[in-house]
């Protein structure tokens, strides 16, 4: 880090310690990808999906936490309940259309309706253009097709005034990850979001994208093992990576009425990496 660069301090929001303010009171929200991978259970920071689940519940929402690994979703629910929130777990594989349909149906049944959906699922793969076709298909299916299916099913049942948030990446805005299928799928989420926003406008449902930059999550720490410069901090204008909570607060803005006149937009949460 250069001598003139300071590290952005961690606020109470950055640490996940700020109290709820009732911004989602009475909302019924499904978070697809609300569990998290584990790197070291003793030291793991919170992941984006878990942070969003916990924060939305703290802000008054009833939260359906969906994940391919039921145990991970249940761990998130346990943390929410310890914090005084209301949540339940759903197991579902976004690679299977029938699982997504069942996921949406159960969320609506359990909560009596659906006011918001977050798609927070993404996988990566090998770098370079010489990617195997099977790997390309797998990444596109999970990162993009799954998002399309969730958005399609959600629009059919969401209440007026609802919100869809797709979690993308700045890899979809600028070259950097060197993983062609990942970058392509994340860029394509912008096109999907605009389509969902156009359809959603007919029933007053908004759709937006949050594009995280470098984030200190369990998955991020796994990435650092292969690319140590990712976690150095000196490559970001604020001198450190984001926390999962900081991504969650960006999603909270799109999920709350504070963004009631905002749709079809991409918000990069990256300390300015894509803008400077």
Q: For residue 249, what are the contacts with CB-CB under 8 A and spacing of at least 6?
A: 13, 55
Reference 6, options 228, 274, 240; nearest CA is 240
Q: In whole angstroms, what is the distance from residue 193 CA to residue 163 CA? A: 11
Q: In whole angstroms, what is the distance from residue 178 CA to residue 150 CA? A: 27
Q: In whole angstroms, what is the distance from residue 51 CA to residue 64 CA? A: 13
Q: Which residue in the list 182, 195, 249, 261 is annotated as catalytic?
A: 182
Q: In whole angstroms, what is the distance from residue 162 CA to residue 254 CA? A: 10
6: exposed, middle or buried (C-beta count within 10 Å: 0-12, 13-18, 19+)?
Answer: exposed
Paired tokens of 99: 């699982």
Q: From the CB of residue 178, how many other CB atoms can be counted at a distance below 10 Å? A: 13
Reference 40, options 241, 234, 221, 255; nearest CA is 221
Paired tokens of 180: 């062609």
Asked if residue 274 lies in contact with residue 170, where contact means CB atoms within 8 angstroms, the answer is yes
Please state, in angstroms and as integers, the Cα–Cα distance from residue 189 to each residue in 42, 176, 195, following that order.
Answer: 34, 17, 10
Q: Does 182 participate in catalysis according to the annotation?
A: yes
Q: From the CB of residue 187, how many other CB atoms can be counted at a distance below 10 Å? A: 17
Q: In whole angstroms, what is the distance from residue 219 CA to residue 201 CA? A: 34
Residues with a known catalytic role: 182
């Amino acid at each position: 880090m250069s001598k003139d660069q300071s590290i952005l301090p961690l606020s109470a929001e950055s640490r996940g310690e700020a109290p709820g303010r009732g911004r989602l009171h009475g909302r019924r929200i499904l978070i697809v990808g609300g569990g998290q991978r584990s790197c070291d259970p003793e030291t793991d920071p919170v992941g984006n999906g878990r942070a969003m689940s916990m924060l939305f519940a703290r802000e008054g929402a009833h939260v359906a936490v969906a994940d391919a690994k039921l145990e991970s979703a249940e761990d998130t629910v346990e943390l929410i309940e310890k914090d005084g929130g209301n949540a339940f777990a759903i197991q579902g594989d976004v690679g299977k259309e029938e699982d997504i349909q069942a996921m949406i149906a159960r969320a609506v049944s359990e909560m009596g309706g659906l006011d918001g959906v977050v798609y927070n699922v993404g996988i990566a793969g090998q770098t370079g253009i010489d990617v195997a076709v099977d790997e390309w298909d797998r990444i596109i299916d999970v990162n993009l097709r799954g998002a399309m299916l969730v958005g399609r099913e959600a629009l059919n049942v969401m209440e007026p005034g609802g919100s869809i948030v797709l979690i993308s990446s700045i890899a979809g805005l600028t070259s950097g990850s060197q993983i062609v299928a990942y970058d392509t799928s994340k860029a394509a989420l912008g096109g999907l979001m605009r389509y969902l926003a156009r359809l959603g406008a007919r029933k007053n449902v908004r759709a937006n994208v949050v594009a995280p930059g470098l984030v200190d999550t369990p998955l991020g720490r796994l990435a650092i093992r292969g690319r140590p410069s990712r976690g150095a901090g000196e490559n970001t204008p604020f001198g450190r990576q984001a926390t999962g909570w900081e991504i969650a607060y960006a999603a909270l803005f799109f999920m709350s009425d504070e963004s009631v006149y905002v749709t079809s937009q991409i918000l990069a949460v990256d300390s300015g990496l894509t803008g400077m």
